[in-house]
A = this chain, B = another copy of it.
Amino acid sequence: MMFRKADFKDMDDRFRANLISSLSGFKSANLVGTQDDAGNTNVAIVSSVFHLGANPALIGMIMRPHTVRRDTFENILSAGEYTINHVNHDIWQKAHQTSARYPETVSEFSEVSLTPQWLDGIKAPFVAESRLKYALALRSCQTLEINGVELVIGEVTHLELDESAVTETGYLDIEALGSVAISGLDSYHVTQRLGRLSYAKPGIEPRLLTF
């Protein structure tokens, strides 16, 4: 079946939000940890995290500070540091619940029973229950003119993960860590590997890689 641009306009807001947010395919499920100047901690689920470059190690993230999640965005700007923690299948429901609009001074950590974890010198909490987590230093923040969302870019400064996930080639087996994927606004998925494929070259069939 076919939808056209004019059809999107006529849709109910919630229907359109569900439909359009499904188009970009599977998304990563992350908990972003921050702290404000007064020491209040905040943790929020974010599905708009993406790879920007490996050297330097840069991660992008889209935020809608003018609608929801203002605390997280303001803490990032103010502290200049934040953490990203993979959501795994043991904490997916708690992770989802962080999206409720709690008052500014209430920590989602205690509300949803997740544990803040600190590393010396970093002004943002990790999520202890996550098995792959990293701290970032804020490198840039810009408002995208086209619709007013914020593009936040950070550089990875510290990476902590289960050693079992690190393969010989540097590939991290995030499936083995139980990291989940999101589709649409509210659907959570575990994964099953089809395979890893060798670097593609013209005229040569890619072969399955072992770890």
Contact = CB atoms under 8 A, between A and B. Distances in A.
B60 A62 contact: yes
Nearest to A158: B4
B147 A52 contact: yes
Nearest to A198: B186
A29 to B, nearest CB: 7
A96 B170 contact: no
A62 B52 contact: yes
A77 interface: no
Q: Of residues A20, A149, A158, A174, which shows the largest number of chain B Cβ atoms within 10 Å of its Cβ?
A: A20
Contacts of A193: 187-189
Interface in A23-52: 23-30, 48-52
Contact of A153 (B29, B146, B186): B146
A128 interface: no
Main secondary structure of the interface of A (DSSP, over half): mixed
Contact of A96 (B20, B56, B174, B200): B200
Nearest to A9: B55
A144 to B, nearest CB: 7
Interface residues of A, number: 110
How many monomers of this protein are in the complex? 2
A99 interface: yes
Given A23-B156, A157-B5, A15 B170 contact: yes
10 contacts: A5-B157, A18-B167, A19-B170, A22-B170, A23-B132, A24-B59, A144-B153, A171-B184, A186-B198, A191-B191
Interface of A: 1-5, 8, 11-30, 48-60, 62, 84, 86, 89, 92-93, 96-102, 106, 111, 132, 134, 139-140, 144-147, 149, 151, 153, 155-163, 166-167, 169-172, 174-175, 179-181, 183-206, 209
Q: Which 7 A-B pairs have the closest CB atoms?
A: A25-B28, A18-B170, A15-B170, A22-B172, A189-B191, A26-B181, A100-B200
